[in-house]
């Protein structure tokens, strides 16, 4: 395990020691959560002696759109996909990281002010890496349907992965954990189940892998799109449609996905057992495929991994 606080980080367009990368208490992003972020994983394959970044170009694409939404013009104008990926690669190389790592990439309003607006501010980029195993359990979770609703696209768009929106996530997660559950399932204002606290959400019914559409107030998850593609390639029927709360009870399997969460099966929702209460066959198959893909073991999906060394 590397000590991330001893690492070099990327801050305001330069590599600096972790301890030097900090912002003022009058910083707008600190005061109001006015930043956008993404989280990228790198996986170390010992047999290849290689560290693979998973879909960094797709993270860039989503992150750049969020930066456009937040009017982060410095990032939008100065960072191409190639430059962005090179910075991430350089950061891992500089720190000689050869183990599984998670990179937190943030763009934020980098000014001291109490004015609440997106336009007219300078923005900066910050990236650091830290070691991360399972973010949530991957062997069958107990989830609680949250009494907190997901923020609407017309309030704080989940699609934007905006820092301040994660106060909403924290309410849902806290309620679930304090009630003895591992994770929350969150409904949107229409009463459809849309996500976990920080994961996309799938159910399996009669062999069909079903997930809410991107227009249901969700993050356009990279893991979500990976699973949809991989399932299609494996001949598994998929559907993108809204999911009712009662379908949680009718589902054969429930699965949460994310860069942190990877593929995390749910075996209990509130007081209902999902399927037979064990990790189901679809989750098991997708977990294995996903793991093989991110460690660069499947030639068909090599385009999704970028070698660092």
Residues lying near ligand PMP in the complex (CB under 6 A): 39, 158, 195, 198-200, 219, 221-224, 257-259
Nearer to ligand PMP, 8 or 224 (CB): 224
Residues 294, 298, 299, 301, CA torsion sign: negative
Helix 222-233 with 56-69: angle, nearest 10 deg = 140
Report whether 143 contacts 274 (CB < 8 A): no
CB 221 to ligand PMP: min, Å: 3
Nearer to ligand PMP, 51 or 261 (CB): 261
| Residue 25 in tokens | 């208490």
Report whether 29 contacts 15 (CB < 8 A): no
CB 60 to ligand PMP: min, Å: 12
CB 46 to ligand PMP: min, Å: 24
Nearer to ligand PMP, 142 or 150 (CB): 150
DSSP result, 207-262: TEEEE--TTTT----HHHHHHHHHHHHTT--EEE---BTTHHHH-SEEEEEETTTE
- Say how far apart CA 250 and CA 264 lie, in whole Å: 19
Cα 213 from chain centroid (whole Å): 17
Task: Name residues whose C-beta falls within 8 Å of residue 304's C-beta, 6 or more positions apart in sequence.
Answer: 54, 55, 226, 293
Calculate the alpha carbon distances from 134 to 16, 210, 228, 240 in Å: 28, 24, 22, 27
CB 132 to ligand PMP: min, Å: 12
CB 264 to ligand PMP: min, Å: 11
CB 200 to ligand PMP: min, Å: 5
Nearer to ligand PMP, 28 or 222 (CB): 222
215: left (phi over 0), alpha (psi -120 to 50) or beta: alpha
> Residue 297's closest CA among 48, 122, 99?
48
CB 111 to ligand PMP: min, Å: 26
């Amino acid at each position: 395990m590397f000590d991330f606080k001893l690492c070099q980080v990327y801050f305001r367009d330069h590599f600096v020691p972790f301890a030097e990368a900090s912002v003022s208490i009058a910083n707008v992003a600190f005061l109001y959560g006015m930043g956008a972020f993404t989280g990228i994983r790198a996986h170390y394959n010992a047999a290849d002696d290689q560290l693979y970044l998973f879909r960094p170009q797709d993270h860039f694409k989503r992150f750049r759109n969020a930066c456009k939404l937040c009017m982060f013009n410095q990032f939008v104008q100065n960072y191409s996909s190639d430059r962005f990926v090179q910075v991430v690669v350089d950061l891992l190389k500089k720190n000689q990281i050869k183990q599984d790592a998670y990179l937190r990439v943030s763009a934020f309003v980098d000014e001291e002010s109490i004015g609440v607006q997106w336009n007219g501010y300078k923005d900066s980029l910050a990236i650091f890496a830290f070691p991360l195993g399972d973010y949530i359990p991957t062997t069958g979770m107990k989830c609680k349907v949250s009494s907190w609703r997901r923020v609407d696209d017309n309030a704080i768009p989940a699609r934007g992965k905006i820092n301040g929106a994660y106060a909403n996530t924290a309410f849902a997660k806290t309620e679930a954990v304090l009630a003895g559950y591992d994770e929350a399932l969150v409904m949107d204002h229409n009463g459809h189940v849309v996500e976990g606290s920080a994961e996309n959400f799938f159910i399996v019914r009669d062999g069909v892998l079903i997930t809410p559409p991107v227009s249901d107030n969700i993050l356009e998850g990279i893991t979500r799109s990976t699973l949809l593609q991989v399932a299609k390639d494996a001949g598994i029927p998929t559907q993108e449609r809204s999911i009712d709360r009662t379908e949680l009870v009718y589902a054969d399997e429930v699965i949460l996905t994310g860069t942190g969460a990877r593929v995390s099966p749910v075996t209990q929702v509130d007081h209902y057992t999902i399927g037979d209460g064990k990790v189901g066959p679809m989750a098991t198959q997708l977990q294995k495929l996903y793991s093989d893909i991110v460690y660069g073991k499947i030639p068909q999906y090599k385009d999704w991994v970028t070698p660092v060394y």
